[in-house]
Amino acid sequence: MSYIGRIDRLKLFAVLSIVIILCIGIASVYTTNVLASNNTKADKSTTKHSKIGKVKVFNATIVNITDTYIYVESEAYTGKLIAKGKWIYIANAFGRGNWAEVKDLVNKGEALIIMASIHRKNKTYHILLGLKEDSVILIRPILMRYMTQKHLHTKTYMGVYATILDNKDNYMIVNRSGHKILVLINPESRWYKAGYGVVTWSEVRSEFKSGDMIRIFCHNMLIIKEGYAKYLGFKALIWGYSGAIIDLTSGTAITRYK
C-alpha cells in the first residue's frame, strides 16, 4: 500500500469517527428532549380509543381474585373485571405470561386499576387493562401499545446517562433527569467485562449498585405518555444492546459479547 493510500484511509477513518460521535451525541440530546416533554392530551385521548373503549383509571379495593377475573370495589366502579389473557408483569423480574401465571402476584387490598368498558351486541364487557399494587405492575400488551408516546430506535447507539435506583433480576430502575426508566437486561445475556473476560449479566449485575452513575449504549427506548407515566411510576423502557454499559462511579465496564 502506498504512503498516499495510507493517508487517505486515515482521513476516511477520522471522518467516520467524527460522524459516529456526532450521531451518538445528537441521539442523547434528542432522548433528553423527548423525556422532558409532556403529553398533556394523554388523559383526554383515552376516551377516544375505539379498540379498547373508554379507559378509566382509579383506586379500588380488590376483594376477590379468580382464574378469569378480579372483583373490585370503588366509587368509580364496583364489580367483576375480566382478567384472562396475556400480561406484561413488572415485579422482582420483568416478563410476560397468561393471567393464570401472573395472578399470584396480585393480592387482595388497595390497588390502582386501569379498566375499559366495551359494548358489543347489547352487552357490556368490563375489562381489566392494568393494575399497580405496591411494587407490582401488570399491563396488557394492548395497553402498553396505546400508552406509548414514542418508540426511539437507532441502528447505531443512544448514549443515556442515568443514576441507578434499584437493580432487579432482569432489569434496573434508573433516574434520568427526574424520570424513572426501566432498563431491561436478559440475565443470561453475555458481556465482556473490561480486565476480566466473558460474563453473564446475572454474574456481574451486583457490581452496578444503587446510587452509581452509569452510561448505557442502547438501540431502543419506549417513551410512555405522561398521564400513564404518572400512574405507573416510570417514564420509559430501554432494551437492545450491542454496545456497552459503563458504571462511571465504580469504573466497571461491560460490552455486549455474542
Which of 183, 182, 248 minimizes the C-alpha distance to 212?
248
Complete DSSP assignment for 171-198: EEEEEETTEEEEEE--TT-EEEETTTEE
- Under 8 Å between Cβ of 60 and 73: yes
Candidates 95, 63, 34, 61; CA nearest to 229 is 34
DSSP state of 169: S
User: How far does the chain reach from its first CA to its final CA, in angstroms?
Assistant: 33
Helix (H) or strand (E) holding 208: none
The band of 51, judged by pLDDT with boundaries at 50, 70 and 90, is low
Q: Is the pLDDT of residue 169 over 80?
A: yes
Most confident of 1-10, 24-33, 121-130: 121-130
| Gap between the Cα atoms of 67 and 184, Å rounded | 28
Task: Tell me if 217 sits within 8 A of 244, measured CB to CB.
Answer: yes
Residue where the block lists cell 437492545: 240
The pLDDT of 64-77, averaged and rounded, is: 96
Q: How far apart are CA 43 and CA 136, in angstroms?
A: 23
* Cβ atoms of 198 and 255 closer than 8 Å: no
Helix (H/G/I), strand (E/B), else coil: 61: strand
pLDDT at 84: 96
Q: Among the CATH numbers 3.40.50.620, 3.40.1190.20, 2.40.50.140, 2.60.120.10, which is that of 43-146?
A: 2.40.50.140
Q: What is the DSSP letter of 104?
A: G
Q: Which CATH number among 2.60.120, 2.40.50, 1.10.10, 1.10.287 corresponds to the domain 3-36+148-256?
A: 2.40.50
Residue 216 has pLDDT above 70, yes or no: yes
How many H helices and E strands in the chain? 6, 17
* Cα 17 to chain centroid, rounded: 31
Q: What is the pLDDT of residues 174-196, one digit of tens each?
A: 999 999 999 999 999 999 999 99
Within 10 angstroms of residue 167's Cβ, the number of other Cβ atoms is 18
**pLDDT greater than 80 at residue 42:** no
> CB neighbours (10 Å) of residue 2?
7
Read off the pTM: 0.76
- Residue pair 134/120 in contact (Cβ under 8 Å)? The answer is no
Q: Do domains 3-36+148-256 and 43-146 have the same CATH topology?
A: yes
Distance CA 57, CA 115 (A): 7
Contact 202, 189 (CB under 8 A): no
Q: What is the pLDDT of residue 53?
A: 67
Domain boundaries, the chain: 3-36+148-256, 43-146
Mean pLDDT computed over every residue of the chain:
83
Could you tell me what percent of the chain has a pLDDT over 70?
79
